[in-house]
Structures are given as C-alpha cells and as structure tokens.
Amino acid sequence: MFGRDSLITAYQTICFGPRLTRGALRTLARYQGDEVDDFRDEEPGKIIHEVRTGELTRLGIKPYDPYYGTADATQLWLILLSEYWRWTRDDELVRDLRDNVHAALRWIDQYGDRDRDGYVEYATRSPQGLGNQCWRDSWDGVQFADGTIPVLPIATCELQGYTYDAKLRIAELADSGPLNDPALAQRLLAEAEELRARFNRDFWIEDRGGYYAIGLDGDKRKIDSMTSNMGHLLWSGIVPEDRAAIVARQLMSDEMFSGWGVRTVSTADRGYNPIGYHMGTVWPHDNSLIAHGLARYGYRHEANRITTAMLDAAQCSNFRLPEVFSGYERTFSRIPVRYPTACDPQAWASGAPLLFLRTMMGLDARDGQLVLDPALPEGYGRMLLAGTNAFGKRWDIEISEGLTDIRAA
C-alpha cells in the first residue's frame, strides 16, 4: 500500500463512487504516525509513504512496516477528506477523523517545516530512507537545470501548493462544515494567504519567460529546472491569475508537451532524458492533475489537448494507460515509446481517464449541489455518464451540443 498513490487515485475516482475514498481515508488514518522513529522517518501526525511485508522488513532490516518517507501524503490526506465531504456531505466521517485532522495540521507546522522558514521540506533521517520524498522520489528526480543534485532538505513547489490547498479546505470544514471551529478556520485562512504571498515571491523565476522553480534546496537556492510540478500548482490554486497564463504556456510549449502529454522536465534542461524515470517521461496521473488545474483557471483548450493526447495514447495500449511512458516527441513514433519497467496496470494511471472525464465535463460538487461546466474537445459529440455518485444518490449526466442535463438515476 502506498499513501500518495492511494490518495491521488481516490481523488481521481471520487465522483464515480465514494467507497474507495472512504476506505483510503480510514485506512491511512489508522497508520498515521504517533512517535518519532528515525529509522522509519516517522513523526506524529504524518501519513505513511508505503507498507511492505517482505522478509527484510519482517527482520527489521528494511523500514517498510510502515515507512513514512513522504512529505506530501499528509496534505493530500487532508485534501481528500475535504473532497470526500464535498461529494458526500458525510459529516459523521469528518467528525470521526477530527483528531487525525488536528494531528496532520500539527505535523505540517511542527515537523514538515523542518527549519521554520514557512515551507514544508524533506530530508531522510533513516540509513534506508528515500532521498527524495516528493512524488518524484527517484534519487535523481529533483535536479538543477544544469543537472546537479541539490542538497537536502528540499522544499519542492507542489508541497507548498498542497499545503495551501489543505489549509483552505480544512478551514472550510471548520467554518461551515462539521468540524465547527471558527477560530481554527480563521487561523488557517490567514496562514494560507501568508503562504501564498511568500511562495509567489520565493519560487518564481523570471528567466526563460517565467516559471516556478521545482523547489528550494537546503541552502535556499532556487532549484531552477522547469518541470511538470508547476502544473500541480494550478491544481492547488496557489498561482495568481496573472501568472497562470505564463504557466499554461510553458506547460504546453514544445519543450514540455511531447504530443502525448506533458513531460516531467523540459527538453532544454541538461538532465532531460526521455526514458529517465522522473526526468523527461510522461506520467498519466501527473497529466490528469495538470489538466484539472488548467481547467480550474479557465484554460480548457489546453486541458483538452492533454486529455485527447492521453486518450490517443491509451488506444495504443489496449485502452489502458501504463504508469509512465517515454517523453519522445509524438512525431518520433506512431505510438508512445514504452518505459521498460512501467507498472501496468497501475492505480493512479488507471484513475487518470476518470479525472480527464470529470475535467472535460467541468463536473464538481459545490455547496451540496452538482455543477456542470462542459467544454468537450472537437469531435466529441455526446457524452453520457450513467449512475455517478453524489450526496448519497446516483445521477445520470448527459452532455451534447446544446444539451446539458443532470437527473437522478
């Protein structure tokens, strides 16, 4: 079991059925850290990275029972709890998990921010721990544009976006939702706004037309590679409107967009490798969050370009997207060049088309109501989503030219 993967998969699939989301929230809450354990990178309030049960783990040689080496799962757990509540209005579950919510918030501020600079950063304390503890968790997954490896601890950009979104969402649950804690809501709103202002000052790079650094290293230098992580910032909402257009343009540039999807890193960076695990490949789950973020800011055409490219790629693999494929240009081959050891099937790759569908439909749950704002790609004449889930009911949603219809199933 993986924390980050489970949480993102549950987010991708929430409007198709809440059981997976509810199960992920409860299961990960049971594993939430409650002590400081350097060998397992455990800290109070932290959500796990993974659980394994192999022989080396049972003998205590490996730290995976469970292992906590991730800096984003805690925020993603809070985000998912909010999303689950928005789609179900399940006040009881949120109240049941109140203590876990407070523990997660304490982890962000007390342990996640290791040096009290206002940013969540990571550095393993375990001799068996992961060096990178963001979603790009291979040893070379975070680099400077010249290919050098940054020193720890590292505060990647999307960690700050997730933190911003998590605090806003829990503020909603505390203000008008089942947590019923106006003082907490006020504090979190203030902290989120302060983080947004500070982040946009410290992570923005004016060079190369403007973009967000992938992170700050242990010396507080901007890690200046151009990566797909900035698309997650659109998903989180931390990007000001005037910079969203710049980010969208960068993501869809020839250096970032392969024709099959957005690459993990720009071809202009020295570390680019079209079959480097996190250094030039294309990940369906990554692209699903990027497309959702683009649509959030009104860039529906750009979101649809990603969606249609991904669905074209799926047709080349028996209609199932693999974990990752290469970042070669689409003109290089008539099908996406496979990554040699990609998991297939893989959970958050399998969940990606469901989030693409939601993005095309502009489907959301707000204030106890279903909302539709469709923007179908050219050639998509009619779309029917039968029996989707929201607020304890099933709904049929139909979209075609001149028709937008939601009805109880």
Overall average pLDDT of the 238-263 stretch:
98
What is the model's pLDDT at position 408? 87
| pLDDT tens column, 340-358 | 999 999 999 999 999 999 9
Instruction: Name 112's Cβ contacts closer than 8 Å, sequence gap at least 6.
Output: 71, 74, 120, 121, 163
The sheet with strand 403-408 has its strands ordered as 382-390, 393-400, 403-408
What is the model's pLDDT at position 402? 79
> Are 151 and 219 within 8 A, CB to CB?
yes
What is the model's pLDDT at position 304? 98
What is the model's pLDDT at position 403? 83
What is the model's pLDDT at position 148? 98
State yes or no: pLDDT of 406 exceeds 90. no
State yes or no: pLDDT of 311 exceeds 90. yes
State yes or no: pLDDT of 200 exceeds 90. yes
Residue 16: which pLDDT band, with cuts at 50, 70 and 90?
Answer: very high
**With pLDDT > 70 as the criterion, what percentage of the chain qualifies?**
100
State yes or no: pLDDT of 409 exceeds 90. no
Overall average pLDDT of the 185-214 stretch:
98
What is the model's pLDDT at position 379? 87
> Are 191 and 123 within 8 A, CB to CB?
no
> Are 85 and 177 within 8 A, CB to CB?
yes
What count of other Cβ atoms lies within 10 Å of the Cβ of residue 60? Answer: 9
Mean pLDDT estimate for the chain: 96
What is the model's pLDDT at position 210? 98
> Are 388 and 324 within 8 A, CB to CB?
no
Overall average pLDDT of the 123-135 stretch:
97
Q: Please, which residues bridge with residue 211 across strands? A: 205
State yes or no: pLDDT of 381 exceeds 90. no
* Cα 43 to Cα 119: distance, rounded to the nearest angstrom: 17
Overall average pLDDT of the 300-304 stretch:
98
* Cα 233 to Cα 227: distance, rounded to the nearest angstrom: 11
What is the C-alpha R_g of the chain? 20
| pLDDT tens column, 141-193 | 999 999 999 999 999 999 999 999 999 999 999 999 999 999 999 999 999 99
State yes or no: pLDDT of 236 exceeds 90. yes
* Cα 64 to Cα 55: distance, rounded to the nearest angstrom: 11
State yes or no: pLDDT of 359 exceeds 90. yes
Q: At what angle do helices 3-13 and 19-30 cross, to 10 degrees?
A: 160
| pLDDT tens column, 32-48 | 999 999 999 999 999 99
